[in-house]
Structure 1
Amino acid sequence: MQQGATALAQLGLPNEGVFSYAHSSFLPDGTLLGEYGRGVHESTRERMGNGRGKAQRRNAHIPRQALRAALLDPLLPGTVRWGKAIARFDAGDSGVILHFEDGSPPERAALLVGADGIRSRVREQLLGASPLEYLGVVVVLGRSRTSHAAASERVFQTLDGDTRLYVMPFEAGVAMWQLSFRLGEAEARAIQTLDGASLRALALRRHEPIPQLLQDTAAADITGYPAYDRPCPAALRQPTSAGEALGGLGGEAGGEVPPPTLATETRVRAPVAGGGGGLTLIPGPSTLRCQALLDGIALARALRSHELRGVADMLERARRKVRASRDAAELLHSPEAMAKSNSTRARSARDKRQLESTTAAGEGRGAV
């Protein structure tokens, strides 16, 4: 929970879990590339983040299942109904009619928020099919019981310019690891067909420095898949009014095409403020990690106030995040990520590339 901690506070929920105070990066041979965080760099500032002393901002690691339970607990029974995968919808001035895959009777709603994944049925019906874009990286995930100090209240990673192992606390005595590496798309798709034991064997072949962590992971706790994203369907202009914020897809003809987004895409159908219940489209990029919590709050406030400028702000915030995530997928699996620096690996790689580019440009001018 990073920015998501703010969202939890606004929802009246505690930022609970296991905490991390330091982040360290290593080469496969154990050479330290850099580290940062309050656990390794003491600060003389009396106040940091959102509090004093133990109340200072810190990153809580919360299992998704526990977070979901905390969000669902305050709701009235029956508010959320599971197993109702949408097949299609019909939209008109009076609302939206939802049709379900299980053949159950259709239901009418005033609002439909399409948050049904990267292969969203809602998105496809609204905007048509579009190809997924492979990021060139495959990911294997697992969680392992460990009492090692490196995984206690710390995040660490090892990387060699092609393969990266990222380890963080999951819950007390358990660490979650993410192994990612470059792989051709056809081979990456085959990863999805492997069982946990085969994925563990693959991980051990790809990453030798920390075998115990991988060996201690139960096969049932390992999964793997290729990483994809989608391009945004159109440009997005900052709206000048609530009505414009609710207006159709994307900006003026010839406007700037935004960068691709990662993971799911969000689509909203909402009543036009003062428009007698008419329905229009709001295009939205995907959200990552804590961004979904922030998006939920922003959307709720926008709907309550009938002022959807906040939704446009949400889209722009998410767009920046997903662009950074796409860039990181490339940077973290490049030799530049092994630069020595007490900062994130993506920033270290970006800074090294910029320095090399500036140096090369200077040498070119000198030669002339």
Structure 2
Amino acid sequence: MENKEANWTICQECQGRGKKSRGLSNKARLRYKRELNQFEKTQGVGTAPVRPKGHLHTCLNCNGSGLVHSATPPIADPENYPHVAIIGGGIGGVALAVACLHRGIPFSLYERDNNFNTRSQGYGLTLQQASKAIEGLGIFSLDEGVISTRHVVHTTEGKVIGEWGIRKWVESDAKTFSKRTNVHIARQSLRLALLEQLGGHTKVQWGHQLIDFKEHGNKGVDLSFQVNGETKHYKADLVVGADGIRSSVRRLLIGEDNTPLRYLGCIVILGICPLSALDGLTNPLLDSATVFQTANGNERIYMMPYTADSVMWQLSFPMPEEEAKALSAQGSHALKEEACRRTQWHDPIPQIVAATLESQVSGYPVYDRELLESGLLQKSGSITLMGDAAHPMSPFKGQGANQALLDALTLARSISKGCRPLSEWREAGLRKSVLTDFESEMLERSAIKVQDSAEAAAFLHSEIVLHEGDEPRGRCLKKK
């Protein structure tokens, strides 16, 4: 299915969820009835039985995407739905705007950057769980996406100590071919694909830095932005902070003292290198379908396809926080020198790092935050968080963008369901109608990802990474 020049609206058969309930089986229905009768006989002593949910199956009308073609663009429905102010025009924020657009939910998307290209080209993303979720955003093909089919782990001398992926397992288990693939794509390429679904760059309020908000119960939220040296004011029914690990919404909402930034003990240096810069170097690791990493128990480099003709590398190693801040502040020249000095390892690593332009090198100390407890948000009324603003994590499990995309789709579906006609959400309030359940699901789903990503920051820079086995690094710890 083509992405461009296509209008989408939600599938009426599944109400945009992509799945339909088969209903309860007779056995489950009778069991629940017996348990309920027993509970009523005891006059409410004990815990009331929970009505079981029917099994879900993929909606055949939309093939599980929740979307169907529309002859015209969806029209926003301010009578039935709240106006959503999305703070942050990154992957998660744009994805939420797209999901709202498909459902006729009115929105405004605010981004502090002055335009799409304000920031550098950025890093590469690996879509895992979100590979299916992006179909729910109207993206059925990623022209810039690259699929990896092999993952190899080496010592610094080049000895293979682990290998997995389709090309290793396909002969023994051909059924995994279509399921166990990761899609690698440049962050800006995915962001641009989402903006195309939204209708272009003009759908974003660029250059808007949030400075304050004030809630008026169920009567909406007043927002104040700094725009070109002036203060501008807007109103919204629902405010969503999708503005990253240093979220202004989060700071204004719960303060910086609650779950402050937590340094994970290491620094990351990133680089993007075109294969054409390698002076004809040929290596089976550079086939645009292989991900590989090399480690020595302290430093670790990870390389993946960035586009069909370039690779992205990520070097990480332990460093005291103040030293990591200082190195990052020195800029790309110092970061590249440090990377070259630490990676005189097997081919093609030294050649790739050396050939990377300084303009394509960046680096930063790695932070996350302790898990956010839903109780901190319960008094926040019609304001919520998503993506890195809600559950920032280290980059070592590649889950940040995946979770943000899932958050966006889940929240839009929750608004569509909780604010449907006759729901009386204005009287009940958006927290009760939508946000409490959304936050509970989001925080429960992302908690293990935050934890695993923090643990990876430790074991990827320890002797554990050198464990020999054809499995992702750290899995041996799960077996103990």
* Band the TM-score falls in, shorter-chain normalisation: 0.7 to 0.9
1:71 aligned to which of 161, 179, 194: 194
Shift of 1:9: 1.7
Q: Does 1:234 align with 2:373?
A: yes
Q: Matched residue of 1:72: which SS?
A: helix
- What are the equivalent positions in structure 2 for 1:246-285 lying under 5 Å apart? 248=378, 270=382, 284-285=390-391
Pair 1:247–1:192, CA change in 2 (3 A): closer
Alignment identity in percent? 37
Shift of 1:247: 7.4
Pair 1:225–1:73, CA change in 2 (3 A): same
1:301 aligned to which of 406, 413, 416: 413
2:298 aligned to which of 156, 162, 168: 162
Distance 2:254 2:438 in 1: 23
Name which of structure 1's ranges 102-111 and 179-188 shifts more when overlaid on structure 2: 102-111
Distance 2:377 2:350 in 1: 54
Distance 2:286 2:440 in 1: 39
Aligned partner of 2:215: which letter?
A
Residues 285-341 of structure 1, C-alpha deviation per residue, up to 9 Å, x if partnerless?
A: 347121111110000011111154344222211111111100111111111110101
Aligned partner of 2:416: which letter?
R
Q: Matched residue of 2:169: which SS?
A: coil
Residue 97 of structure 1 aligns with which residue? 222
Residue 284 of structure 2 aligns with which residue? 149
Aligned partner of 1:10: which letter?
G
Aligned partner of 2:274: which letter?
R
Distance 2:153 2:269 in 1: 19
Shift of 1:233: 4.7
8 Å CA contact 1:112–1:269 kept in 2: the answer is no
8 Å CA contact 2:128–2:182 kept in 1: the answer is yes
1:82 aligned to which of 206, 228, 234: 206
Aligned partner of 2:286: which letter?
A
Name which of structure 1's ranges 338-347 and 188-197 shifts more when overlaid on structure 2: 188-197
Pair 1:57–1:280, CA change in 2 (3 A): closer
1:137 aligned to which of 266, 287, 295: 266
Pair 1:269–1:154, CA change in 2 (3 A): farther
Q: Where does structure 1 differ by over 6 angstroms across 4 or more consecutive aligned residues?
A: 279-283
Shift of 1:4: 1.2
Shift of 1:74: 2.1
Shift of 1:28: 0.2
Shift of 1:197: 2.0
Distance 1:132 1:311 in 2: 20
Distance 1:2 1:289 in 2: 10
Distance 2:381 2:171 in 1: 47
8 Å CA contact 1:157–1:166 kept in 2: the answer is yes
8 Å CA contact 1:8–1:15 kept in 2: the answer is no
8 Å CA contact 1:113–1:269 kept in 2: the answer is no
Distance 1:120 1:344 in 2: 32
Residue 111 of structure 1 aligns with which residue? 238
Aligned partner of 2:271: which letter?
G
- What are the equivalent positions in structure 2 for 1:184-263 lying under 5 Å apart? 184-209=320-345, 210-234=349-373, 248=378
5+ residue gaps, structure 2: 1-126, 276-281, 394-399, 419-432
8 Å CA contact 1:15–1:60 kept in 2: the answer is no
Q: Does 1:125 align with 2:264?
A: no
Q: Matched residue of 2:341: which SS?
A: helix
Shift of 1:79: 2.7
Distance 1:228 1:168 in 2: 22
Pair 1:233–1:3, CA change in 2 (3 A): closer
Q: Does 1:177 align with 2:313?
A: yes
2:468 aligned to which of 331, 340, 354: 340
Shift of 1:15: 4.1
Distance 1:337 1:169 in 2: 22
For the pair shown, the structure with the greater C-alpha radius of gyration is 2
8 Å CA contact 2:223–2:234 kept in 1: the answer is yes
Residue 136 of structure 2 aligns with which residue? 10
Name which of structure 1's ranges 227-236 and 56-65 shifts more when overlaid on structure 2: 227-236
Shift of 1:230: 1.6
State the aligned residue count. 312
Aligned partner of 1:81: which letter?
Q
Name which of structure 1's ranges 100-109 and 20-29 shifts more when overlaid on structure 2: 100-109
Shift of 1:13: 0.8
TM-score by length of 2: 0.61
8 Å CA contact 2:213–2:221 kept in 1: the answer is yes
8 Å CA contact 1:22–1:154 kept in 2: the answer is yes
Residue 360 of structure 1 aligns with which residue? none
8 Å CA contact 1:136–1:183 kept in 2: the answer is yes
5+ residue gaps, structure 1: 237-245, 250-267, 271-278, 355-368
Q: Matched residue of 1:135: which SS?
A: strand
8 Å CA contact 2:239–2:384 kept in 1: the answer is no
Pair 1:318–1:185, CA change in 2 (3 A): same
Cα RMSD over matched residues?
2.4
